[in-house]
Amino acid sequence: MSGDLAGPRVAAGPGRNVEATLVDAVRASRASAAMLYVLDTGGDALWLAVLAGVPRHIAAPWTRVGLTDPFPVADAVREERLVWVGGTEELARRYPRSSLVLPYDFVLAAAPVADGGTLRGGLVLLWPGSHSTRLGSGEREVVEAACRRLGSALRGVAEAGELVPCARPRTVAPEPDRALGTPEALAAFVDRLPGGSCALDLNGRITFITPEAAALVGVDPADLLGALPWEALPWTDVPEVEDRYRSALVSKLPTAFTALRPPDTWLSFELYPDASGISVRIAPGGPGPRTTEPGSPPPAGPSRATVLYHLMHLAATLTEAAGVKDVVEQTADQLMPALGAQAMALLAAEDGRLRVLGHRGYSDVLMERFDDIPLTPDTPAARAMITGEAGFFGDFDELRRAHPQAVHRDGMESWAVLPLIASGRPIGSLVLAYERHKRFPATERAVLTSLAGLIGQALERARLYDTKHDVARRLQAALLPHSLPRVPGLDVTARYLPAGRGLDVGGDFYDLIRLDDTTVAAAIGDVQGHNIDAAALMGQVRTAVHAHASAGAPPDDVLRRTNRLLIDLDSDLFTSCLYAHLDLARRELCMATAGHTRPLLRHADGRTEVLTVPPGLLLGIDPEADYPTLDFALTPGSVLLLYTDGLVEEPGVDPDDALDSLRGLLRRTDPADLDALADTLIRHVANPVDDIALLLIRFRSAGGRPRHAAG
């Protein structure tokens, strides 16, 4: 299995200008860290390109951010506005996924990066938790100016034909101006301080340590310089220490902890961070909250808090995954960067065969070899699915010993094959592949197994969702007209757009009924609710309206008889309906309404009016209700718009204002192409809160070929 994460790289030249501009932005805004994102070529995701003041491993969960993901930078770029988050409580409220991964004290601003009207990416700036919860006007100007300069710099990268990094973003260190004395004076100053001291860079490596500090931790200074503390000092490789370190890096606020150096020496650590790294003071200390037990062996593999955060982050994202495609994408986006895998495949069993549900880093051609093969224990993915046992292979020799028939096709060196367990049974398997030889110690195997459990549960929910969604879609389609009749003198098109998910079947309907060569009836309605009962009642209402119309009943009688039917059905759901009778020979339109939204009529000259039909009660309330009618003249070139309230319902918007907006859109849009007009009207609603059904009818002069469509 072969392929990679499709990550362009940045070179010197204009790319370096981008990095310098980002550093200038950090200094000018007095921020503690910054992350620059660039739009991918498809315009639907942001890739982390350059970081300043924060190491890559902290930002790993956000290497790729979809424009629709619930993250500040995605909102800022998608809505082209500055997003301000004034602290941890606000972050938890507005962006719970981010808060789970970074539960530290900081504030941030996210803003779009553009140049000449072209969106190029987004900028995230972080300030310490001591910053005001509000963004000052002067700071806003600095942020906006920085975004303009970054937009210009990114344009230079594009014009130079360079590509921006995505799989492995670059890190740069903002270097504040410092007045330094002589090295001898600085060394004397440090030696006079009590206890020991050391310095960490932004990646956590030790760049300086005093002899006293080295003596306290019991390691030669030469073995500490350039090392990560949790590697050189295994007794610090515990979640609490990692958590305090991450807290200092992100919040830029001092923190402290106590740790036990085996067998019985307690040490206190005080961390003082800034934009260039962390200064640490070490001193003998009394017992505090224990981070390890005396004499316990150091943990192996990815047992630090970083893995726990990735686990929490993946859990949070999977709760938002709806279908199988979402699970595949979330798993690839979050798991592969966290674990350093270069390829991934998600597989399941269907009718005794192995099916590839999705993959990343592998070629489609290679995946086709494994898709739809018999489910036998000959392949690692199938065996994990059958037995429920994971397989870990450090090299191909190990894999071949377990699977003698295996063929090395993917060019990878190591593999983890994990069963996906849900409801106590394996429902699929996850393959993670690595380009280099990899050990899988016990702690890492435990972590991978836990992750696979989360993915298995999410996959089971996703497959159930996809099944229900498909059932709902087919049910909805069966209840609506498959096609509209062709009527000489009329052009007609219809649209239906559900706002619900899963089994949220709507009660909206429309119909066009050809009565004879010169008369036609149109109906549109909305049954209260979004469930199977609403859909069933919608089918009955539409059938009743159609039957009464075909029998020649006038509009008021059609609604009156349908109302009595609903009363007899004793349903607790109410229905709105508008019925229109069009006489093409007399060029007359007669309408009656049962509490439905007011239709719009666009005249040939572009003038658009709201047709105020005398209101009648909703269907299913009063058996004696009357439905008065109103007549209108039809002129060639006029367009009638019938619609349900999803087209004009917007949170926080007055209904009359929404209707005026729709009326203006209908007036401004050329009605020559009814399909294009219908699509424009649908797109007018950015986030529908209710289902939308609409019927567009254009009255033409005699002659010409009618055009009809439904969608």
| pLDDT score, position 476 | 65
Higher pLDDT pick, 451 / 555: 555
Strand partners, 107: 127
For residue 319, give the H/E element and its range.
helix 305-319
pLDDT tens digits, 650-678: 777 788 888 999 999 999 998 989 999 99
Q: Find the mean pLDDT for residues 204-220.
A: 91
Please say if the pLDDT value at position 66 is more than 80: yes
Helices and strands in the chain, H and E counts: 21, 29
Instruction: Please give the average per-residue pLDDT across 675-684, as a whole number.
Output: 90
Most confident listed range (3-12, 67-76, 280-289, 440-449): 67-76
What is the average per-residue pLDDT within 325-349?
86
Evaluate the CA torsion angle 357, 361, 365, 370 in order and state its sign. negative
Percentage with pLDDT > 90 across the chain: 41
State yes or no: pLDDT of 266 exceeds 60. yes
Distance CA 599, CA 610 (A): 6
Structure tokens at 80: 């082209």
* 9-18, 332-341, 561-570, 675-684: least confidently modelled range: 9-18
How many C-alpha atoms does 523 have within 13 Å on its Cβ side? 33
Lowest mean pLDDT among 161-165, 259-263, 287-291: 287-291
Q: What is the mean pLDDT of residues 188-204?
A: 82
Q: What is the pLDDT of residue 241?
A: 83
Find the mean pLDDT for residues 421-428.
83
- Identify the band that residue 237 occupies on the pLDDT scale cut at 50, 70 and 90: confident
Asked which of 336-345, 500-509, 527-536, 619-628 is least confident by mean pLDDT, the reply is 500-509
pLDDT for position 163? 60
**What would the mean pLDDT of 460-481 be, rounded to a whole number?**
74
Phi/psi of residue 247, nearest 5 degrees: -60, -45
Q: Is 185 in contact with 192 (CB distance < 8 Å)?
A: no
Residue 17: its pLDDT value, please? 84
More confident residue, 303 or 284: 284
The predicted structure's pLDDT at residue 680: 92
Q: What is the mean pLDDT of residues 66-80?
A: 91
> 73-87, 168-182, 325-339, 424-438: lowest mean pLDDT where?
168-182
pLDDT in tens, 485-537: 888 889 999 998 877 544 456 678 899 999 998 999 999 999 887 666 777 78
In 3D space, the residue among 527, 535, 494, 495 whose CA is nearest the CA of residue 595 turns out to be: 527
When pLDDT is cut at 50, 70 and 90, the band that residue 117 belongs to is: confident
On whether the CB atoms of residues 678 and 493 are closer than 8 A, the answer is: yes
Q: What is the pLDDT of residue 40?
A: 86
Residue 176: is its pLDDT beyond 70? Answer: no
pLDDT of residue 294: 34
* Residue 263, preceding peptide bond in cis (omega within 30° of 0): yes
- Across 622-634, average pLDDT: 92
CB 259 within 8 A of CB 293: no
User: What integer pLDDT is reported at residue 545 of this predicted model?
Assistant: 92
pLDDT exceeds 80 at position 645: yes
Lowest mean pLDDT among 240-249, 418-427, 474-483, 565-574: 474-483
Indicate left, alpha or beta for 652 from its phi (over 0: left) and psi (-120 to 50: alpha): left
By percentage, how much of the chain surpasses pLDDT 70? 84
DSSP state of 236: G
The per-residue pLDDT for 84 is 94
pLDDT single digits (tens) 101-115: 677 788 999 999 999
pLDDT of residue 301: 41
The predicted-structure confidence for 548-603, as pLDDT tens digits, reads as follows 999 989 999 999 999 999 888 888 788 999 999 999 999 999 999 999 999 999 99
Phi, psi angles (nearest 5°) of residue 64: -125, 130
Predicted confidence at residue 492, as pLDDT, reads 94
Does the pLDDT of residue 640 top 70, yes or no? Answer: yes
Give the model's pLDDT for residue 704.
Answer: 46
Confidence band of 378 (pLDDT split at 50, 70, 90): confident
Judge whether residue 184 has pLDDT over 70.
no
- Hey, what amino acid is at 303? S
Asked whether the predicted pLDDT for residue 211 surpasses 60, the reply is yes
What confidence score (pLDDT) does residue 358 get?
Answer: 92
What digits encode the pLDDT tens for the residues 412-422?
Answer: 999 999 998 88
C-alpha–C-alpha distance, residues 109 and 171, integer Å? 19
Instruction: Report the mean per-residue pLDDT for the chain.
Output: 83
Confidence band (pLDDT; 50, 70, 90) for 302?
very low
- Is pLDDT of 169 > 50? yes
**CA pseudo-torsion sign 704, 705, 706, 707:** negative
Model confidence band, residue 178 (pLDDT cutoffs 50, 70, 90) = low
Q: How far apart are CA 304 and CA 237, in angstroms?
A: 6
Residue 2 has pLDDT above 50, yes or no: no
Stretch 115-143: mean pLDDT, rounded? 90
DSSP state for residue 619 in the 8-state scheme: B
Who wins on pLDDT, 543 or 572? 543
Average pLDDT over residues 154-179: 71
Give the pLDDT of residue 142. 93
> Which has more pLDDT, 53 or 150?
150
What pLDDT score does 124 carry? Answer: 95
